[in-house]
């Protein structure tokens, strides 16, 4: 409209503008101020709430302990949990393992950093950190226990089969495997949780990457 | 150029407001959450035995990412009704208690390694109730209770009993259900 105006209505437009140059500049200044205030508020609310929502639906941003593919938040179950951890726990409705009870690790990638794919076959082994009991549990992409034909979703340190040197290997695969086998869900991603119950010393202390099981990708079927 | 400068200032103001809103939202969310763990366990306030949250096997539970080898049971407590005594007989299965505040967050945890003669017994109380209990105590016969001061009036205890093998799962569930949590009358 503005570009057309000079062609069709040039004289009236010019006469409208000419008498009141100061008045139009005042309105030009006042309207943007109100607009800018609204803009700043909307930006602040949108960005603030959006980033908070995004943050509490993810993993705690601080205080993570990463040992190879295994990741844990040792402060999650302690009185020193930071506000992000508390917000995330409230959002999930989760009850973490308390410091003193144990520590839960999660892996979403293999030891080479490649994300898990249920079309592949993985071997988890052969050592685990010292604890009174550990459990290794499979979850699907949504954090639920997968429903598979095998029915088994976890191994504990007491039931896993070991060789003569006390080493173990758990194979994660969709197809039948000899030995310790956990069947992967039919499709999509998955996660593996390693929970150490009643480990010696404070949770998270004295843990070293060499004591943790290595997750090796053996191959990917079609 | 001047309009652009004002726009830049407004954007910066917006980002500063966003930081404030973000911090406020994160700090407030544990208190505003309606689906947090305390809301779900509140129904167990009146029960005098721990109620199962997640039976071994991990089926039919609201608990995210349940461990199929562990029975999880809970008792909610409200210390306005007096101190809360939680007691379990320990067996061969690993058992642990963790004490959680209403607003989320653990304030104490203990495993059955701390059990005395097969009994694990903890009394949770407020700082005021602890003072009263100390004052009422007989000097020649001091109480042997393990007393824990709770930072908030309300909260819940989580009992975890692990079953190292699937055949022990019913036993773990029974052990978790047998934990008693009773409100004590103020002395």
Cβ distance A72 to A191 under 8 Å?
Answer: no
User: 0.90 cut: is pTM over it?
Assistant: no
Question: Range with the lowest mean pLDDT among A17-31, A80-94, B43-57, B112-126?
Answer: A17-31
Residue A109, pLDDT score? 92
Cross-chain Cβ contact A86/B30 below 8 Å: yes
> Which of A98, A150, A154 to substitute to test the interface with B, most B CBs within 10 Å?
A98
| A71 CB-contact burial (10 Å; exposed 0-12 / middle 13-18 / buried 19+) | middle
The 3-class secondary structure across A160-222, one letter per residue, is: CCECCCCCEEEEEECCCCCCEEEECCCCCCEEEEEEEECCCCCCCCCCCHHHCCEEEEEEECC
What 3-state class would DSSP assign to B28? helix
Distance from CA of A131 to the nearest CA of B (A): 11
| Phi-psi domain of A206 (left: phi exceeds 0; alpha: psi -120 through 50; beta: other) | left
Contact residues on chain A for B13, CB-CB shorter than 8 A: 40, 44
Minimal Cβ distance to B37: which of A43, A78, A93: A93
* Count of beta carbons in the 10 Å neighbourhood of residue B101: 19
Question: Do B111 and A198 make contact, defined as CB atoms within 8 angstroms?
Answer: yes
Phi, psi of B159 (to 5 degrees): -105, 125
**Least Cα separation, residue A153 to chain B (angstroms):** 8
Give me the architecture of the A65-220 domain, per CATH: Sandwich (2.60)
Host H or E run for residue B30: helix B2-32
Rounded Cα distance, B160 and A36, in Å = 55
Between B63, B110, B113, which is nearest A95 by CB? B63
| pLDDT single digits (tens) A116-172 | 998 999 999 888 888 899 999 999 888 888 888 888 889 999 988 988 888 999 999
Q: Do B113 and A198 touch (CB under 8 A)?
A: yes
**Burial (0-12, 13-18, 19+ Cβ within 10 Å), B85:** middle
* Block residue for tokens 């869900």: A185
**A93/B109 CB distance under 8 A:** no
A149: distance to nearest CA of chain B, Å? 15
CB contact under 8 Å between B165 and A159, yes or no, is yes
Nearest CA to A217 among A173, A167, A174? A173
3-class state of residue B57 by DSSP: coil
Q: Min CA distance, B34 vs chain A (Å)?
A: 8
Chain B residues 93-122 with a CB less than 8 Å from chain A: 94, 96, 98, 100, 103-111, 113
* pLDDT surpasses 50 at A24: no
For the question of an ipTM over 0.90, the answer is no
The token duo for B4 is 């652009």
Report the residue of chain A nearest B31, measured CA to CA. Answer: A90
* pLDDT of B105 above 80: yes
Is B152 within 8 Å of B84 (Cβ atoms)? no
State the pLDDT at residue B186: 55
Q: Is the pLDDT of residue A201 over 80?
A: no
Considering only the C-alpha atoms of chain A, give the largest distance between any 2 of them, rounded to a whole number of Å.
Answer: 101
How many angstroms separate the Cα of A112 from the Cα of each of A68, A72, A216, B87, B174?
9, 18, 8, 46, 42
The pLDDT score that the predictor gives to residue B22 is 95
- Model pLDDT for residues B169-183, shown as the tens digit of each residue: 999 999 999 999 888
Mean residue pLDDT across chain B: 87
Nearest to A48 among B9, B25, B164 (CB): B25
CA angle, residues A198, A199, A202, in degrees to nearest 5: 105
B44 membership: H or E segment, kind and range: none
Reported as a pLDDT band with limits 50, 70 and 90, residue B136 is: confident
| pLDDT value of residue A22 | 47
The pLDDT score that the predictor gives to residue A194 is 94
Task: Label residue A5 by pLDDT band (50, 70, 90).
Answer: very low
Determine the distance in angstroms separating the CA of A147 from the nearest CA of chain B, rounded to an integer.
11
Chain B residues inside the 8 Å CB shell of A97? 98, 160
- Residue B71, pLDDT > 60, answer yes
Contact yes or no for B64 and A94 at CB 8 A: yes
Tokens matching residue A141: 């992409």
A215/chain B closest Cα distance in angstroms: 20
Give tens-digit pLDDT for A30-67: 557 888 899 999 999 999 999 999 999 989 999 888 99
Task: Test B11 with A143 for CB contact under 8 angstroms.
Answer: no
Q: List the 13-42 stretch of B: residues with Cβ below 8 A of A.
A: 13-22, 24-27, 29-30, 33, 35-37, 39-40
Token pair of B27 as six digits: 């700090």
| Each residue's pLDDT tens digit, B58-69 | 888 888 899 999
């Amino acid at each position: 409209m503005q570009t057309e105006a000079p062609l069709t209505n040039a004289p009236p437009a010019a006469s409208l503008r000419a008498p009141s140059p100061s008045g139009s500049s005042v309105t030009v200044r006042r309207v943007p101020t109100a607009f800018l205030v609204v803009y700043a508020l909307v930006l602040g609310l949108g960005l603030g709430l959006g980033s908070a929502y995004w943050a509490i639906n993810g993993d705690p941003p601080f205080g993570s302990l990463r040992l190879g593919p295994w990741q844990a938040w040792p402060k999650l179950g302690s009185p020193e949990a930071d506000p992000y951890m508390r917000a995330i726990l409230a959002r999930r409705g989760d009850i973490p393992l308390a410091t003193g009870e144990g520590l839960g690790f999660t892996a979403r990638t293999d030891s080479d950093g490649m994300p898990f794919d249920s079309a592949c076959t993985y071997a988890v082994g052969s050592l685990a950190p010292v604890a009174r009991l550990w459990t290794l549990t499979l979850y699907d992409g949504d954090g639920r226990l997968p429903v598979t034909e095998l029915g088994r979703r976890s191994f504990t340190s007491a039931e896993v089969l070991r060789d003569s040197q006390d080493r173990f290997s758990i194979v994660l695969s969709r197809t039948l495997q000899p030995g310790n086998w956990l069947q992967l869900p039919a499709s999509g991603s998955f996660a593996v949780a390693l929970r150490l119950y009643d480990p010696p010393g404070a949770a998270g202390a004295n843990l070293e990457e060499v004591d943790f099981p290595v997750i090796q990708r053996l191959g990917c079927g079609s | 150029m001047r309009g652009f400068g004002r726009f830049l200032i407004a954007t910066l103001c917006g980002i500063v407001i966003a930081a404030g809103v973000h911090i406020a939202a994160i700090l407030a969310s544990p208190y505003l959450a309606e689906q947090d763990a305390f809301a779900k366990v509140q129904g167990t306030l009146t029960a005098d035995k721990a109620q199962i949250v997640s039976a071994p096997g991990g089926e039919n539970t609201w608990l995210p990412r349940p461990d199929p080898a562990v029975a999880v049971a809970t008792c909610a407590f409200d210390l306005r009704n007096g101190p809360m005594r939680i007691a379990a007989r320990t067996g061969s299965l690993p058992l642990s208690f963790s004490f959680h505040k209403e607003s989320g967050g653990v304030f104490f945890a203990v495993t059955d390694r701390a059990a005395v003669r097969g009994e694990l017994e903890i009394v949770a109380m407020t700082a005021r109730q602890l003072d009263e209990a100390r004052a009422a105590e007989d000097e020649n016969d001091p109480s042997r209770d393990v007393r824990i001061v709770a930072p908030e009036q309300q909260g819940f205890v989580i009992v975890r009993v692990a079953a190292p093998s699937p055949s022990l799962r019913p036993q773990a569930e029974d052990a978790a259900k047998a934990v008693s949590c009773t409100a004590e009358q103020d002395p």
